[in-house]
Structure 1
Amino acid sequence: MWMKLELRHLRVVCAIADAGSLSKASSLLGLAQPALTAQLHRIESLLGGKLFERDHKGARATPLGELVLERARVLLPAFSRLQEDALRLVDDNMPSERYRVGAVNGPMLGGVVHRITESHPGAHVSTQVSWSNEELAAAVAQGRLDYVLAAVCGDAPPPSEYGLTWNVIAVDPIFVLIPDDHPFTLLDEVELGQLKDMQWAVVPGDGCFGECFVAACSRAGFTPRTMYEVDINSCIDLAASGDAVALCQPTFRRAPGVVAIPLAGAPLRWRHLIGWDPESPAAEFAPHVLRYAGEAYRDTAERNPRYAAWLRTHRDFGVVRYHSRETVSP
């Protein structure tokens, strides 16, 4: 999948250089080391060469890495100053009541915005979307967002280095999208091993989902073939044509040509969380946004008959009855 170099990539390179190793950098960034390694490989592909020489002593910048670090240490502070100046200007011209919500791909953003605007008709509400939890968490820490609707694989922690308060909203199983004329659509659920000869598609994200998927396939007795990282529309197209099985959230709304069905035993889980800065003014309203997010998730789940029926027999999934706070060590 084509990508372009972004500031978050430069932050990753600086973190590795400052920490001196990928293992230390992964701890600082709140990422599993395989996920950070995969990110570094993507960045190196974008730049056309290796940025670090790695051995038992750690990671040392190559000449290309030194060049990138030199430019990054100029660009990142300059960008931060630009953000601060822009925020001051915007603050002087914005309504006193505002709500800025960031979200990764998930079922709740629209419902949250609707509930905020309905209960606070005079407020200014803005949104930002990204596939990266890290990017949105950083925006909250920097004062550019008030809340982030994030999602993490299994029991993985949310981004830890920003000092945010995190609460769990809901827990999803992972479903699969297959053509609507496939024989498996007649089943209540499909075994992961029954799909061993297929290729796969998924929307991109940071974290350990790719590694967890490969591990689940290994437990099912096979190694997955090609994994396409594509946008949601391409996932639907690939699934409808039978060229790939697309991994999806169970709240996926029906699209022409495809059906979302459960994986037997729910071998992959996805946790939805909300984060905010506990020292910011937004913290006072955070319990309301948490409630709005839970209501929005529940509404979306109920509009999907197959998932609603699945939830009735799988009580460990769906909206958490008592929202649990995530304890994340910086």
Structure 2
Amino acid sequence: MDLEVRHLKLLCAIADAGSLHGAARALGTSQPALTNQLRRIENTLGGQLFSRERTGCVPTALGQGVVGRARPLLASLSALVTETRAAAARTGGGPRLRIGSTASRAIPGWLRRLRERLPSTETELQVAVSATALLRRVAAGELDMAFVHEVEGCPLRLPPGLDIRTLVEREPQFVCLAVDHPAAHRTIVDLADLAGDQWMIDPSVDGEWEGLRRVLNAAGLNPRVLHGDYLTAAGLVATGEVVTLCQPTSRPRPDMVVRPLRGDPLGVRLFLAVRNGAYGGELAGVGADLASAYWEAASHSPPYRSWLAERGLP
């Protein structure tokens, strides 16, 4: 087996995510496939690159050396691709706007507004779980901007060369419950009402497990926790198997409800990141479009709309 660029990207993804699960999500593959690929790479290089610990994957001394040398190689390749594509765009094919985002109800409205504002621009969207990975791609020139969230108390490591525009300083995190949950009839849910429930958390979402764990510990709770991905969370919530954090813009369904937590114990900061100097000209209105799309999504969520009205917010 010869070492290829994709193998270097895989190793860096594991180092960035800190876990095989998170790296698999970021790369769009399965964890077993990623594990097998890592094993083959380690066999090729003749040594263990990551130690598998209870808290995730940590690079060994050998792994640190390989990842450290891989990063500048990948950055150079990325710069080559970016510069080539930019040159191609200047000679034909029209301008492009490459957007990265963590999951958000604001995305459809944002894309609609961008089409109206920049009708001749081709927009590309890449949705990922890891805000850190998206920010690094912006800094490397692989994306033009990224809309991400930062969990309170768990600051993201911002790469140099980024211009940060905050959209919402503190968005409260709500809870999603089955419609027949005993607390579902309440307009505001106390954490104590969920003491006997199993929580579901996606460990590959930067800072979310740490933030929830801090909030639960402060409330004197030590519930059962299921680690998984949010793509399957809705089905488990609907059957009463788990409860989970959710964005306040989430819309209720016939089989589940969305409720604020009393005291708003956990919040996130929402912001747009672009490369320094890129936020100007035609892109100057992109942030305003995003803000409009976000508040449009908020208006379609009755629980969030009530929460905002109670605080005198638009």
3-state secondary structure, aligned to 1:279: coil
State the match for 2:216 in structure 1. 217
Indicate the residue corresponding to 2:173 in structure 1. 174
Matching residue of 1:296? 293
Partner of 1:313: 310
Which digits, 9 at most, give the CA deviation of each residue in 1:89-126, with x for residues without a partner?
Answer: 32233345332111011222222221111112111111
Q: Does the 8 A contact of 2:135 with 2:159 survive in 1?
A: no
CA RMSD of aligned residues (A): 3.2
Q: Provide the C-alpha distance between the structure 2 equivalents of 1:313 and 1:214, rounded to a whole number of angstroms.
A: 28
Partner of 2:148: 150
Offset of residue 11 of structure 1 = 6.6
The TM-score, its normalising length taken from structure 2, stands at 0.77
Structure 2 counterpart of 1:148, one-letter code: A
Aligned residue identity for 1:88:
E
User: Any stretches of 5+ residues in structure 2 without a counterpart?
Assistant: 1-6, 24-30, 40-47, 53-57
1:159-215 per-residue CA deviation (whole Å, 9 max, x = no partner) reads 322321112112321111111122322111110111111111134444332122112
**What is the aligned counterpart of 2:125 among 127, 149, 167?**
127
Q: How does 1:1-330 map to 2 (within 5 A)?
A: 7=9, 10=12, 13=15, 39=19, 51=50, 62=60, 65-66=61-62, 68-73=63-68, 75-94=70-89, 95-154=93-152, 156-170=154-168, 171-232=170-231, 234-280=232-278, 282-315=279-312
Equivalent-residue separation in structure 1 for 2:22 and 2:219 (angstroms)? 28
Shift of 1:50: 8.2
Contact 1:202 / 1:227 at 8 angstroms: preserved in 2?
yes
Give the whole-Å Cα distance in 2 for the aligned partners of 1:6 and 1:196. Answer: 44
Cα shift at 1:51: 4.0
How far residue 151 of structure 1 moved from its aligned partner, in angstroms, is 0.2
The residue matched to 2:263 in structure 1 has which SS? coil
1:9–1:202 distance in 2 versus 1, CA, 3 Å: farther
Distance 2:70 2:20 in 1: 19
> How far has the Cα of 1:243 moved from its partner?
0.8
Normalized against structure 1, the TM-score is what? 0.74
Q: Which stretches in structure 1 are left out of the alignment for 5+ residues?
A: 16-35, 54-59, 320-330
Which amino acid counterpart does residue 293 of structure 2 have in structure 1?
A: A
Letter matched to residue 243 of structure 1: E
Contact 1:174 1:270 in 2 (8 A): yes
Secondary structure of 1:186's aligned partner: coil
Aligned length: 280
Q: CA offset at residue 6 of structure 1?
A: 7.9
Please give the secondary structure, in 2, of the residue aligned with 1:271. strand
Query: Counterpart of 2:4?
Result: none
Contact kept in structure 1, 2:106 and 2:296, CA below 8 Å? no
Identity %: 24
